[in-house]
Amino acid sequence: MLDIPSRVRVHVEPLLAAQIDMGVCDAIEQYAPVRKPDTMNAPHPPKVAGIDSTVPLPAHTVAPTPAAPGVPPATSPAPADPGALLQDRLAGWVSDLTTLHELTERLARTDSLPTALEELLHAGAALVGARRGLVVVEPSDGLGPDSMTGLGLARADLGHIETVPRSSMPYGRILDGLPGGEREIAQPDLLSEDGLDPRHREVAARLGYAASYTLPLATEKAGRLGAAVWLYDEPAEPAERQRHLAGLYIRYAAEHVARMVEMERTRTCMTTISEELLPTRLPRVPGVQLAARHRSGPRGGGDWYDALPLPDAALGLAVGSVTGSGPSAVAAMGRLRASLRAYAVMEGEDPVAVLSDLELLLRLTEPARSATALFAYCEPSLRKLTLAGAGHSPPLVIGPRRTEFVETSLSAPLGMLACWEAPSVEMTAGAGETVLFYTDGLLQRTGDPVDRAFARLHAAAASVPRPLRGDPGAVADHVLRTVLPDGLDRTDSAEDVVLLAARFE
């Protein structure tokens, strides 16, 4: 709290100033430094909290109007009270700090690069008084991700902007390190500029903007990340106060965007590794059609699937999940899947033996980790499957006359018992039926209790339209969209999702 004698008392939240890495006094000094008046002509109120409380008299920008003949001169207005002026100025500073605090808090709540860029554009437009804008992300290290996001601009509008020679656009000068690109670039009247690129002039007239204000996105550690551009419908430019606020906001926003860029890179890397550890293509076996869908979490998870041809025209189908997430879980998933392939080739006709060997390997090599798995030995010519599961959810049969879960034996996950062994079960699929294998991530992403999630999955499978039932990929897509509606199948989640569909002819 700032205590000012006599009539002025202003409360300042230190957190507001700390949000933009400065104290209240530093903010006041930076924001509007006050020059000291002549000691002979100005009063000297006492200093408050280290602030020189002298306030200069306002400068006259318009000459006084001369009095009409015969009219006595008007009485000069009384000089403004310095305490009242200081109170107004402090109130304005506190209001600005509050605004910055709210905007940076909203930005900090974003957890992905696209949402962070959208919030940055909205906040910047409010600060500089613009209606439209775009932000271009192109890290100087060349490692990506590269993107262009618009505010009030459709994808076609962004395409028109990209046809302008890069060196004539303000964001291009910043991203390419051209002279003048290390600081703000204001173009208050584009169409009257001498030497403006003809294509830039054409695009500006087409999209209806007449001025722009551009700020670089850069941090000391990450270097140049991109640039943010705000567009005005009429010739204009932000005032000094708006520029200062926008500069403070962009300084914080650049740090947040740098963190989001690193997260995006990590997510892309983990997704690539997970995809490379899974089958690049599914085998073609007479009598059965296969399709798979995989959704990986942002940190990478341990869900996997496999389909491999076996001797005697048989087929091995497997799904599983390793506990944990991140690089260690992805690596464990790769080792487990590779081991299962080897055991399936040697003794695939006995799924119990395959999972028993996998249990022993997991217990000896990774005693602190557990996993679930389901392996099916499939004979397509007979439409016969022999299954064994270790703590895994049962498959789902989808056909013209039935939609039901396969009854499998109950068993603990691999790595939970000293010696794993559970009986296998046999089932025969009908012609035109699809057997759907899936991991628990599909159920857990719903956020429902287990019984409700199973009921939702069953209802989704039963609602597959008849024209789609001849395509296992269409069946898997319908189930995925119905169990996880509104794009939840593609949103970031800690849970991986795997579906493997086998349709028998």
What's the CATH number where 438 sits? 3.60.40.10
Domain count, the chain: 3
Same domain, 433 and 452: yes
In a domain, 52, yes or no: no
Same domain, 335 and 350: yes
Cα R_g (the chain), whole angstroms:
33
Domain final residue, candidates 214, 238, 271: 271
Domain harbouring 209, CATH code: 3.30.450.40
In a domain, 251, yes or no: yes
Model pTM score = 0.65
Question: Above 70 in pLDDT, residue 352?
Answer: yes
CA pair distance 89, 86, nearest whole angstrom: 5
In a domain, 296, yes or no: yes
Same domain, 373 and 408: yes
In a domain, 11, yes or no: yes
CA pair distance 164, 50, nearest whole angstrom: 52
Residue found under tokens 């500006």: 204
In a domain, 114, yes or no: no
pLDDT in tens, 195-250: 899 999 999 999 999 999 999 999 999 899 999 999 999 999 999 999 999 999 99
In a domain, 494, yes or no: yes
Same domain, 291 and 246: no
Same domain, 173 and 284: no
Q: CA geometry: angle at 189 spanning 185 and 195, to 5°?
A: 80
Same domain, 353 and 497: yes
pLDDT in tens, 277-296: 888 889 999 999 999 999 87
Which has the closest alpha carbon to 379: 442, 309, 304, 438?
Answer: 309
Query: What is the residue range of 410's domain?
Result: 278-504
User: Quick one: what percent of the chain has pLDDT higher than 70?
Assistant: 81
Domain final residue, candidates 271, 305, 333: 271
Same domain, 407 and 468: yes
Domain final residue, candidates 227, 250, 271: 271
Same domain, 282 and 321: yes
What is the pLDDT confidence band of residue 410, given thresholds at 50, 70 and 90? Answer: confident
Same domain, 220 and 346: no
Same domain, 300 and 411: yes
Which has the closest alpha carbon to 215: 178, 254, 184, 253?
Answer: 184
CA pair distance 378, 201, nearest whole angstrom: 66
Lowest mean pLDDT segment, chosen from 85-99, 139-153, 339-353? 85-99
Same domain, 264 and 292: no
In a domain, 483, yes or no: yes
In a domain, 43, yes or no: no
CA pair distance 437, 493, nearest whole angstrom: 20
Same domain, 418 and 389: yes
